[in-house]
Structure 1
Amino acid sequence: MSAVLLDTDDVGAAEATLSTIFSKIRIRTPHRGAPVPMRLERSVIGSLGIDTADYGCAFGYEMDPPAQILVCHVVSGGVEQRAPHSRGTRSGPGDVTAFGPRDAPSFEGRVLRGRYHVLVVDPSTLTDITGAHDAVHITGAAPVSAAANQQLANLIGYLRRCATNPQLHGNPLLAGMLEQHVAAVLLATLPNDSTLQPTAQDRRDSTPVLLRRAIAFIDDNAHTDISLADIAAAVYVTPRALQYLFRRHRDSTPMEYLRRVRLHNAHLDLLAADETTMVGEVARRWGFAHAGRFAAYHREHYGCSPQELLNPLPRPTEITGHSS
């Protein structure tokens, strides 16, 4: 379900609302007193916001750094942003650009008439997934490559589709998995200051005993919304040490192992299902929001689709011959 946060052509009202939603902003229009039609609609999944912004005219802006990470996919129109002593960036249709918390003072730019899809992310999700002691920051506006730009555009499109699915709302397990997925994609596609290499202490915290404890915690809590930080806290190591522990002994990440456990539990539920059971229901119960992806995972690990497991093909009837 979405909510309209802004629908006005009054500059003062737009400034006040956008300053409350994002950060303090001042809007400059080409013609003083001219109407500035703006509409902003938001959907929410867990802590994630997915906005659709329609601007009916071009305008300049001065803006304080936002408290949240804003990842903007330009559908039509264009965005410029310039920080002090920097060349700035320009983004057109199909491009993705990011705004994030930073130590720099206010920055400025220009927005053209058009439509924009904006992903709003709490910065703490990046810190949680990396296990860093200090906050992790997005350090640049532009994705690291053309492929990264496309990956971010695809991510925002996928989240917009998820936001229209009423069965996702009120499901903390699905929301938590989406938040972690978003954080991982942002770290892979946008410049940032995270340090993922294990320290000497992390290497010492990589014994098989700790691995068994981590696996036991995951097995016992796979039905709940647990994060990398939760698993690490349960075995008294840092999230970074936990990542190293699983890479060293399992050749996977903790979250990949968690996904396999959830997939296995979904498989068991399908085996025990009756004719009234729906595949989508089982998938969502175990945190798989995308039915097609769930089916692909299931086929990869169990050699058949979930639907084939629920509705097996009848065996051919044996035909016996009769002598005349």
Structure 2
Amino acid sequence: MKELDFDSEDLEVTEEFLSRAYTRMQIGGDVEQTRAHVSRNVVGSVSVDDLEFSYDMSHDAGTLGKICLGNVHSGSIVRQYFPDGEEGFFGPGDVFVYTPHDRPYAGVIRRSSYNLVMFDPQLLTRAAAGLPGRRPDPVRLVGDRPVSPAAAQHLRRTIAYLRDGVCADPELSQQPLLVSAASQLLAASVLVAFPNTATTEPTGADRRDAHSDTLRRAVAYIDEHADQDLSVADIAAAIHVSVRTVQVAFRRHLDTTPMGYLRQVRLSHAHADLVAADPSGTVTVTAVAARWGFFQLGRFAAAYRAAYGCSPHQTLVQRGP
């Protein structure tokens, strides 16, 4: 869903806009050529901005209150003050942590076209709750560059999907489970891409409490709330055990993860919706998949075929496998 669309050749107007859209800042640039364009799309609590500056725009800004990623398409960005005054230079193809949520930032945008992706740091903590070895503290990113080219490429693809897939389709961007899944995919991609603090091992108490009754209560909670935005932390809180206990219970008794089981339940609901749909009506496979949080149609179709022996489209047309 588009939230902002700004275009100006006035440096003062641009500074005022950027201060409203991001945080209070001072900017500078060549007064002879100062065209700036900014547009923003929003997916749940995540914003994906497209920015283009036709001049070298210097900026000195306060804290954002959100984690901010940069993704450069053309030109270059010189970024200062991360993590401790270290300067960074980023060009086309680079994806990086522009600024943590609690630090000021400064730099120069050198005739660049790029994305800024912003989100609440709690999204990382929530996503990390499902990771083996999760620390109980809030998760922090401790490096600004990806740990590998493959991780960087995956993160760029995730950003592109948010921008060109979910944001570009009003119907998809209004599906709560799809928005949740897309946001969690972004958070997981960020945790894979950048060094962070989210690791520890399960305790003896976690292993002791991961018995069959814990699994039964977790399964019942998931079954009853599969149409809602769920994380491992939500499931653990609902049945009054630790996140690691829930993870160990699912691995020990079902050889899967809590989120893996949730996907199976949602796939079953999607199957039921397709079976019940009138093949001559307006129901589509894409809409059903989105309703149950499956945002990559190819993966949904592959998982569906593995579970039911036919494609989702065949089920919709035939009203049953």
Band of TM-score, shorter chain? 0.7 to 0.9
Quick one: which of 50, 54, 63 aligns to 1:52?
50
Structure 2: tracts of 5 or more residues without a match: 130-134
User: Given that residues 36 and 53 in structure 2 are in contact (C-alpha distance below 8 angstroms), is that contact kept between their aligned partners in structure 1?
Assistant: yes
Task: Verify the 8 A CA contact 2:33 2:54 in the aligned structure 1.
Answer: no
The secondary structure found in structure 1 opposite 2:74 is coil
Q: Find runs of 4+ consecutive structure 1 residues off by over 6 angstroms.
A: none
State how far apart, in whole Å, the 2-side matches of 1:203 and 1:181 are: 28
Cα shift at 1:90: 1.7
Counterpart Cα distance in 2 of 1:234 and 1:197? 22
Aligned equivalents of 1:12 and 1:143: distance in 2?
35
Q: Distance in 2 between the 1:65 and 1:102 partners?
A: 6
2:66 aligned to which of 58, 65, 68: 68
Secondary structure, aligned partner of 1:43? strand
Larger displacement relative to structure 2 (89-98 or 8-17): 8-17
Tell me the SS of whatever aligns to 2:96.
Answer: strand
Find 1:284's aligned residue among 285, 290, 310.
Answer: 290
Alignment correspondent of 1:321: none
Q: Percent identity?
A: 39
Tell me, which stretches of 5 or more residues in structure 1 are unaligned?
314-324
Q: Check whether the contact 1:44–1:50 (CA below 8 A) recurs between aligned residues.
A: yes
Cα deviation per residue 1:10-51 (whole Å; 9 max; x = unaligned)?
A: 33333333233333333232x4x4452212111111111111
Q: Displacement, 1:112?
A: 1.4
Is the CA contact (8 Å cut-off) linking 2:159 and 2:186 kept in structure 1?
Answer: no
Q: Which residue of 2 aligns with 1:23?
A: 23
1:298 corresponds to 2:304: yes
**Aligned with residue 245 of structure 1, among 230, 246, 249:** 249
Deviation of the 1:197 alpha carbon: 2.6
Shift, 1:312, TM fit: 4.9
Cα distance change of structure 1 residues 141 and 24 upon mapping to structure 2, 3 Å threshold: farther
SS in 2 for 1:40: strand
Give the TM-score taking structure 2 as reference length. Answer: 0.88
Written as runs of structure 1 = structure 2, the 5 A alignment for 1:141-156 is: 141-156=144-159
Aligned partner of 2:79 among 72, 78, 81: 81
Q: Deviations over 1:279-311 (max 9, x none)?
A: 122212212223222112111222221112233
Looking at structure 2, the residues matched to 144 and 6 of structure 1 have their Cα atoms a distance apart, in angstroms, of 34
Q: CA deviation at 1:87?
A: 4.1
Equivalent residue in structure 2 for 1:217, among 214, 221, 225: 221
Q: CA offset at residue 75 of structure 1? A: 1.1
SS, match of residue 77 in structure 1: strand
Greater shift, 112-121 or 271-280, is seen at: 271-280
The yes-or-no answer on 1:121 pairing with 2:119 is: yes
Q: Does 1:311 align with 2:311?
A: no
Change in CA separation of 1:240 and 1:89 when aligned onto 2, cut-off 3 Å: farther
Task: State the AA in 1 paired with 2:123.
Answer: T
| Residues 11, 35 of structure 1: 8 Å contact kept | no
8 A Cα contact 1:102 1:137, kept in partner: no
Larger Rg: 1
Contact 1:89 1:142 in 2 (8 A): no
Report the 3-state secondary structure (helix = DSSP H, G, I; strand = E; otherwise coil) of the residue aligned with 1:115.
strand
Report if the CA contact (8 A) 1:52-1:117 is conserved: yes
When residues 79 and 204 of structure 1 are mapped into structure 2, their CA distance, relative to the original with a 3 A threshold, is farther
Aligned: 1:40 with 2:38:
yes
Which one is further off, 37-46 or 196-205?
A: 196-205
Tell me, yes or no, if the aligned pair for 1:100 and 1:138 is still in contact at 8 Å: no
Q: Please, what TM-score do these two structures have when normalized by structure 1?
A: 0.87
Task: Indicate conservation of the 8 Å contact 2:140/2:197, yes or no.
Answer: yes
1:102 Cα offset (Å): 5.8
**2:276 corresponding residue in structure 1:** 272
1:122, 1:58 → 2: CA distance?
Answer: 29
Contact 1:45/1:163 (CA < 8 Å) preserved in 2?
yes
- Residues 100 and 210 (structure 1), Cα distance of their counterparts in 2 relative to 1, 3 Å cut: farther
Distance 1:274 1:194 in 2: 46
2:143 to 103, 115, 140: 140
Answer yes or no: is 1:175 the counterpart of 2:173. Answer: no
- Higher mean displacement: 142-151 or 9-18: 9-18
Aligned residue pairs: how many? 310
